[in-house]
Structure 1
């Protein structure tokens, strides 16, 4: 796995506040869907803003493909064409009169030609399945449409890493499924996606890797293994995912081998149950 973006021995504290992150080592690997989990106040938002250049570490350094990021105009432009952050509330990110205008803002600031900007906007709108909304005033959008527009604005920058803060929060089940399908398409096209979430079931279903922010630091590894660590989940203020609990029950009843992967979705659980031998 190649390292795209990394923080090395990074620390950060807000003005007149306590240290939020201290001596942090954290990396985002290309092609791996990464879920970032932790209790409120654990430093998830700070970490995301450090990775995207919105904040600068007090100590330590941020690297992109092994090269240290400089916080001048050239360095930040390079970083923001590699990493894009979409915040939780789309209303904190949308400001233009129409969807198309909002999505075009980032590419315009890169100094691209009008043809290049138009191509990027069309590509991003199609990726988020909101082409029909291009001329819609942003104040007339539903919450889910505003979420998609905010993500499209980031996608139009063609980042290699897309960081999403609680992207499914506030969406109904159908909206969540549509967004997850969109993220899968983005991953298939080569975008590495990082998702901060409190939803351990979603993390188990969606992520390749999980990073748990605890008072003792961040612990990262394969999602099924990390989300079965009851000690780390307790430290991070999280519960056990239902899929892990179901796997433990299936193994206890001899219906799942010790080395076999447990269910990560209801459909996988149903398939395991259907394949189990009948009693008698």
Structure 2
């Protein structure tokens, strides 16, 4: 395990009651300052892995470590973990329960026993970070789906975690909502939060993530996103396809047409290969590295 790992699973196995193993002998780590996309087919164990990271599930064997120290599953140990790692589930309706947005976002800080003044500061900061300050008094049942997503994330951000784990955060959002959310996540990353995102969208992972972790029946493989998402055999074992940018780059090379050192991640980056003077937009997060094939 890397010394820079904030939170890590070491030789972890887990199965649900009377069920087959979901994860077996898994090693997984989240490194400070690296955006990480977690990918795999349905049933591969992504949600289980995220709940193990956040302390919602306890491994059958192996251990969860925080800054290199094993996590104790008592009140003190779990409080220490949850002030560092926060999980936001895919469906915001599974997470929101208070009458108003501000009340919902304040729940976590209040449970920490913080003074009211500190709770108000954290709530205001979280609402501002997610660009929903104007919704503070809005009843949660009157929010749009995208607003509910942002409110659920704000509730986690109010805990000021070092690691924010998001389960399919862009699912169900329209293109504008997705771009706004990615911009928000970029701001959180720049502010020092390490973000882990589970997604089925290989194009989004290539665009956004520094690293990609692919769950396969053989375990998990992690590395630079542009490298991992160009490994055809590994993607196949994970039930995924090539990102369109990698596929396009390979086609261009096969036809003897110009390519860049990295696969294009956006239409603008593709256009820049052929139209002199075209400036591609900077992606929301993540820098591509050399691409190849397994």
Structure 2 length normalisation: TM-score?
Answer: 0.92
Q: In structure 2, what is the Cα distance between the partners aligned to 1:103 and 1:250?
A: 48
Distance 2:199 2:257 in 1: 33
Question: Which residue in the other structure is 1:47 paired with?
Answer: 49
Give the structure 2 partner of residue 267 of structure 1.
268
Structure 1 residue 254: deviation in Å? 3.9
SS at match of 2:274: helix
Give 1:19's match in structure 2, choosing from 18, 21, 42. 21
RMSD: 1.0
How far the C-alpha of 1:269 sits from its partner, in A, is 1.0
Q: Does 1:76 align with 2:78?
A: yes
Match 1:184 to one of 176, 183, 186: 186
> Paired residue for 2:121, among 114, 119, 122?
119
Shift in Å, 1:190: 0.2
Q: Which runs of 5+ in 1 are unaligned?
A: none
The runs of at least 4 consecutive aligned structure 1 residues that moved more than 6 Å come to: none
| Deviation of the 1:216 alpha carbon | 0.5
Q: In the TM superposition, what is the alpha-carbon distance from 1:21 to its structure 2 partner?
A: 0.2
Q: For residues 146 and 231 of structure 1, what CA distance do their matches in structure 2 show?
A: 38
Distance 1:271 1:158 in 2: 39
**5 Å matches for 1:1-280?**
2-252=4-254, 253-256=256-259, 260-275=261-276
What is the CA-CA distance between 1:140 and the residue it aligns to?
A: 0.2
- Is there any run of 5+ residues in structure 2 with no aligned partner, and where? 278-294
Measure how far apart 1:62 and its partner are. 0.4
Q: Tell me how far apart the structure 2 counterparts of residues 98 and 126 of structure 1 sit (CA, whole Å).
A: 16
1:118-168 Cα deviation digits (max 9, x unpaired): 000000000000000000000000000000000000000000000000000
Number of equivalenced pairs: 274
| Equivalent residue number for residue 284 of structure 2 | none
Shift of 1:48: 0.2
CA distance in 2, matches of 1:148, 1:251: 41
Q: Per-residue deviation at 1:262?
A: 1.5
Offset of residue 256 of structure 1: 1.8
Counterpart-to-counterpart distance in 2, 1:273 and 1:219: 34
Rounded Cα–Cα distance in structure 2 between residues aligned with 1:204 and 1:247: 13
Measured in 2, the distance between the counterparts of 1:275 and 1:74 equals 59
* In structure 2, C-alpha distance between the alignment counterparts of 1:212 and 1:229, rounded to whole Å: 11
* In structure 1, distance between residues paired with 2:95 and 2:124: 19
> In the aligned structure 2, how far is the partner of 1:130 from the partner of 1:190?
20
**Separation in 1 of the partners of 2:22 and 2:143?**
36
Deviations 1:182-212 (A, max 9, x none): 0000000000000000000000000000000
SS of structure 2 residue aligned to 1:184:
helix
